Amino acid sequence: MRYVVLILMGIFGTILSGTAFSASFDLAGLGIQIDLVLLLVLALVLVEKNITPIIFAMATGLLMDMMFSTTLGMYALSYTVAAAVASIVAHRMEKFNSLHIFLIGAGGYIVKELVMALIVFAQGARQFDLGAIFLRDMLPSAAFAGALLLLVYLLVSLLYRNTWMRPRMSSHFMDEL
């Protein structure tokens, strides 16, 4: 049942991220974008301490690539790298407070955007100023993503209080290293 819920969350998040939340919201003149799939991935990384959120990020990113991208792997790679980095950081922490959750949300958004910029740069786009994009678009969106992750983490952790949503084994892929 847990995997059915994760698949439905991935499909629902993909549809909302690609349609309703794809346009930039103009909050006080800032082009802030909401990435619901990334928020779900990061919330799952914080709730589950295993490799499932990374696989969820890859699968949902591939679905985003098939539906909304011209380059296969753009979203999948960026979500997977962001989930892996967040998982390593979250594995090092014993307890979370709201500042940790905010920083993981903001950092995950920045990692995702930097990986996407690296992919675009590798494809031959040389006419963009990463510094200006970072200050004008990434930082406000990262702060908003960090704030929204607090809410999404609360909702996902409430969902995981049900016994049918908990993972059977509590192992992490970093435990073997």
Taken as a whole, the chain contains a residue count of 177
Range of the domain at 108: 2-165
Q: Is residue 68 pLDDT above 80, yes or no?
A: yes
Report if residue 73 sits inside a domain. Answer: yes
Report if residue 28 sits inside a domain. Answer: yes
Instruction: Name the nearest CA neighbour of 156 among 120, 105, 109.
Output: 105
Q: Of residues 169 and 1, which shows the higher confidence score?
A: 1
Q: What pLDDT score does 177 carry?
A: 44
H-type helices in 48-138, by residue range? 52-68, 74-92, 98-122, 130-133
As a whole number, mean pLDDT of residues 11-23 equals 74
| Count of domains observed in the chain | 1
Q: Are 170 and 49 in contact (CB under 8 A)?
A: yes
Burial grade of 103 (CB within 10 A; 0-12, 13-18, 19 or more):
middle
Report if residue 46 sits inside a domain. Answer: yes
Report if residue 177 sits inside a domain. Answer: no
Report if residue 51 sits inside a domain. Answer: yes
Tokens 């819920």, residue? Answer: 5
Instruction: Name the nearest CA neighbour of 54 among 23, 12, 86.
Output: 86
Report if residue 81 sits inside a domain. Answer: yes
45-62 pLDDT tens trace: 999 878 889 999 999 999
Confidence of residue 20 (pLDDT cuts 50, 70, 90): low
Angle ∠(21,27,33) on CA atoms, nearest 5: 30
Report if residue 142 sits inside a domain. Answer: yes
Tokens 């979500």, residue? Answer: 79
The C-alpha atoms of residue 11 and residue 2 are separated, in whole angstroms, by: 14
| Average pLDDT taken over every residue of the chain | 83
Q: Of residues 5 and 169, which shows the higher confidence score?
A: 5
Assigned token pair, 67: 């539906």
Report if residue 156 sits inside a domain. Answer: yes
Tell me the CATH number at 87.
Answer: 1.10.1760
The C-alpha atoms of residue 14 and residue 38 are separated, in whole angstroms, by: 10
Q: What pLDDT score does 168 carry?
A: 65
Angle ∠(88,63,107) on CA atoms, nearest 5: 30
Q: Of residues 54 and 171, which shows the higher confidence score?
A: 54
The C-alpha atoms of residue 56 and residue 80 are separated, in whole angstroms, by: 8
> What percent of the chain is helix, strand and coil (3-state, nearest 5)?
70, 5, 25
129-164 pLDDT tens trace: 777 777 777 888 889 889 999 999 999 989 988 887
| Predicted TM-score (pTM) of this structure | 0.83
The C-alpha atoms of residue 9 and residue 26 are separated, in whole angstroms, by: 26
